[in-house]
């Protein structure tokens, strides 16, 4: 009896525990449902997660500074995007909220009211609002109406140099300089700097690109490509002595602010894709290799027109290796090996030259490699590295790190290149045509067979090398045009201009801009960036950035006078850009004195005077 009684008691206890557990679950569920109904706890938790993500993202985004061209004009900046949303459960009066927001944000009131009455816990009202609108919304203190802030990348020049600059998605650089920026921020080291010399979190980049020359190239490729459908055009200009790329344009282009709207074929940088080297270029490379082979062997070099050339494959290979034609290498505006794998189309020459023997002259190369090889041959023994990043500027310390551009190889194989420079120049002039001001043009055209998954297609490939003389540093330009071999429905150019004639019209302007840029490189003024919201697009397509709050910030950010002694004028402008003072300078070179003195409060001061090293070089006119 005792045992049975105990069993009954244990069973009774189990029933009670089960019943209490069920009741507790029901109570908790009911409470959570009521809380969620009143304050939207699910939405609240999601918003808290977004805040944490935003905080982590802002720490990373703040590291991606401004990108400037060589004249310190903005190419890429980070701006704040502000959006408005509402938690409908917290809105006191939907009609009142609609009336206020409709007037402030210039949005359709009827559509907004329908949004708020859908019953959704969170409703997006508007995005990309200006700072004037942001300030106005804040002042109203509308219950249930909130602002969301996020930082986004903005490219003020739209399509200009897009294939060089690249683009960013979710603060990750996916191509071009933006991809290089990610590697820089991750490693925080600059090539050529001592080991252990680390950058801080935030950096700006100064490029070798000149937006004035870039504008000329953009117009050129659009003019050439616009007359024939399915045509691809690329034009790049490189400084011969340093490898600095001062401009690079491609047609069709894209707007990096809207890169998701374009196909992979348009986003692809054609200058980094292998193509067939034209026969005329291969013959020039072969004859140049013959000249260098004779010099390397220590034999007497006669004029190339009477010099018998022997094909020495080993010496040819050394030349191609020195010029970088046989190896995979990286540029700072894209990774070369990744670019090679991206193309699914294989190009082959339609007609092979049976009578010509080119030895080990490469049959395929990227246009960038061809441009680099031509530059290495004709610059007198300077081994260059094609690049577009000139300097990295640490925002915290103000220190500028200039990246190594070229290397004088006069003691290595560059000695052979330098010794044969005169004869190679004569060889080039015999095969090229001369334009105005001593400009040389070397042009050739191939018919290619493009093989892809869709079958075979015949293409016409034109390639034009232009050697542009300049007093400071000569430039080398390469233009590549690929299109259908026949275009029955294409428009005909009214003027009948050839590729050489069209390019010839712009080389003098490029040469002048190059010389001017080099002459004033140390006295250019940095373009000041207002801390505006992400630009707002009107219905007519114009960009309207908000700037009310940013102007107030600039007025307040006066601070004290920094120590500028020993700095370049460009760096001085950078440090004074938000001080709200007028800057006057005398002379050229670096700063030797300043007024007011370092540490002086700038409140109430409107002018800063900088005295540079060589005052006698400049005559001030009143």
Paired strand residues for 611: 586, 593
Q: Are residues 565 and 507 in the same domain?
A: no
Domain presence at residue 159: no
Please report whether residue 579 resides in a domain: yes
Claim to verify: residue 283 and residue 400 sit in the same structural domain: yes
Rounded distance between C-alpha atoms, residue 489 and residue 507, angstroms: 31
Assess whether 431 and 482 both reside in one domain: yes
pLDDT < 50 positions in the chain? 1-3, 55-62, 194-196, 336-342, 410, 487-495, 523, 538-558, 616-622
Which CATH number goes with the domain that contains 429?
Answer: 3.40.710.10
DSSP output for 406-451: EEE-TTTTHHHHHHTHHHHHHHHHHHSEE-GGG-EEEEEEEEEEEE
Count CB neighbours of 513 within 10 A.
Answer: 19
CA 35 to chain centre: 49
pTM above 0.75, yes or no: no
Please check whether residue 260 lies inside any domain of the structure.
Answer: yes
Torsion, Cα of 365, 367, 371, 372 (10° steps): -60
- The total of structural domains in the chain comes to 3
Both 217 and 320 in one domain: the answer is: yes
Q: Are residues 414 and 358 in the same domain?
A: yes
Residue 80 belongs to some domain of the structure:
no
Cα 567 to Cα 582: distance, rounded to the nearest angstrom? 18
Cis peptide before 201 (omega within 30 of 0): no
Whether residue 586 is contained in a domain is answered as yes
In a domain, 171, yes or no: no
Whether residue 608 is found in the same domain as residue 494: no
Do 510 and 574 belong together in one domain? no
Same structural domain, 381 and 453: yes
Q: In 3D, which of 333, 367, 368, 376 has the Cα closest to residue 240? A: 376
Asked whether residue 230 falls in the same domain as residue 330, the answer is: yes
pLDDT at 50: 55
Q: Give me the half-sphere count of Cα atoms (radius 13 Å) on the Cβ side of residue 518.
A: 17
**Cα angle 275, 281, 286; round to 5:** 115
CA distance 224 to 493: 9
Beta-carbon contacts of 236 under 8 Å, excluding residues fewer than 6 positions away, are 217, 245, 247, 248, 249, 271, 367, 368, 371, 477, 478
What is the pLDDT at residue 210?
94
What is the rounded distance in angstroms from the CA atom of residue 502 to the CA atom of residue 251?
A: 16
Residue numbers of the domain that contains 11: 2-39
Neighbours of 612 (CB within 10 A): 21
Task: Specify if 345 maps to a domain.
Answer: yes
Q: Are residues 400 and 504 in the same domain?
A: yes
Tell me the pLDDT tens digit for each residue of 79-138: 888 899 999 889 888 899 989 998 888 888 888 888 888 888 898 998 888 888 888 899
pLDDT of residue 284: 87
Q: Is residue 354 a part of any domain in this protein?
A: yes
**Do 353 and 301 share a domain, yes or no?**
yes
Under 8 Å between Cβ of 142 and 85: no
> Same domain, yes or no, for 298 and 437?
yes
Closest CA to 546 of 53, 261, 141, 154: 154
The answer to whether 112 and 102 are in contact (CB under 8 A) is yes
Is the four-CA dihedral 419, 421, 423, 427 of positive or negative sign? positive
Distances (CA, A) of 58 to 22, 52, 151, 154, 396: 45, 10, 7, 15, 17
d(CA 77, CA 151): 10
């Amino acid at each position: 009896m005792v045992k049975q009684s105990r069993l009954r008691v244990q069973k009774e206890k189990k029933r009670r525990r089960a019943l209490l557990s069920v009741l507790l679950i029901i109570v908790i569920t009911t409470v959570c449902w009521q809380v969620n109904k009143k304050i939207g706890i699910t939405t609240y938790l999601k918003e808290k997660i977004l805040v944490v993500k935003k905080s982590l993202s802002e720490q990373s985004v703040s590291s991606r500074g401004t990108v400037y061209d060589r004249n310190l004009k903005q190419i890429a900046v980070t701006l704040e995007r502000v959006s408005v949303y509402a938690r409908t459960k917290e809105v006191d009066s939907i009609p009142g909220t609609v009336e206020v927001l409709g007037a402030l944000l210039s949005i359709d009131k009827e559509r907004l009211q329908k949004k708020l009455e859908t019953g959704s816990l969170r409703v997006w009202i508007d995005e990309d609002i200006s700072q004037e609108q942001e300030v106005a919304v804040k002042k109203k203190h509308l219950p249930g109406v909130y602002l969301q802030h996020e930082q986004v990348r903005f490219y003020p020049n739209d399509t200009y140099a897009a294939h060089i600059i690249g683009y960013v998605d979710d603060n990750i650089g996916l191509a071009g300089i933006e991809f290089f920026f990610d590697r820089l921020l991750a490693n925080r080291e600059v090539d050529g700097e001592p080991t252990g010399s680390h950058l801080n979190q935030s950096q700006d980049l100064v490029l070798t690109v000149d937006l004035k020359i870039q504008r000329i190239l953009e117009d050129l490729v659009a003019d050439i490509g616009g007359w024939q459908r399915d045509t691809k055009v690329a034009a790049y200009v490189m400084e011969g002595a340093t490898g600095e790329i001062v401009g690079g344009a491609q047609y069709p282009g894209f707007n990096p602010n809207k890169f998701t709207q374009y196909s992979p074929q348009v986003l692809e940088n054609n200058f980094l894709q292998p193509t067939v080297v034209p026969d005329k270029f291969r013959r020039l490379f072969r004859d140049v290799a013959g000249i260098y082979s004779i010099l390397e062997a220590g034999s007497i070099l006669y004029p190339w027109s009477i010099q018998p050339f022997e094909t020495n494959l080993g010496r040819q290979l050394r030349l191609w290796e020195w010029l970088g034609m046989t190896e995979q290498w990286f540029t700072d505006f894209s990774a070369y090996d990744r670019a090679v794998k991206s193309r699914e189309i294989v190009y082959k020459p339609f007609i092979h030259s049976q009578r010509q023997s080119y030895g080990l002259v490469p049959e395929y190369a990227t246009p960038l490699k061809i441009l680099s090889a031509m530059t290495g041959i004709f610059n007198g023994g300077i081994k260059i590295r094609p690049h577009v990043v000139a300097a990295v500027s640490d925002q915290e310390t103000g220190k500028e790190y200039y990246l190594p551009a070229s290397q004088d190889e006069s003691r290595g194989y560059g000695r052979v290149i330098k010794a044969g420079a005169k004869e190679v120049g004569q060889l080039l002039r015999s095969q090229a045509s001369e334009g105005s001001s001593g400009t040389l043009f070397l042009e050739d055209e191939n018919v290619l067979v493009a093989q892809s998954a869709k079958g075979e297609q015949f293409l016409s490939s034109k390639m034009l090398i232009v050697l542009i003389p300049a007093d400071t540093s000569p430039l080398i330009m390469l233009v590549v045009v690929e299109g259908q071999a026949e275009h029955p429905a294409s428009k005909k150019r009214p003027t009948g201009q050839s590729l050489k004639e069209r390019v010839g019209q712009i080389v003098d302007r490029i040469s002048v801009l190059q010389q001017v840029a080099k002459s004033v490189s140390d006295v250019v003024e940095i373009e000041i960036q207002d801390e505006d919201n992400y630009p707002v697009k009107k219905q007519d397509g114009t960009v309207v950035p908000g700037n009310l709050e940013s102007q107030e910030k600039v007025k307040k950010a006066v601070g004290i006078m920094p120590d500028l002694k020993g700095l370049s004028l460009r760096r001085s402008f950078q440090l004074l850009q938000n001080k709200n003072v007028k800057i006057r300078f005398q002379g050229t070179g670096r700063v030797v004195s300043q007024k007011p003195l370092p540490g002086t409060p700038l409140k109430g001061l409107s002018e800063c005077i900088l005295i540079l090293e060589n005052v006698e070089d400049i005559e001030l006119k009143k």
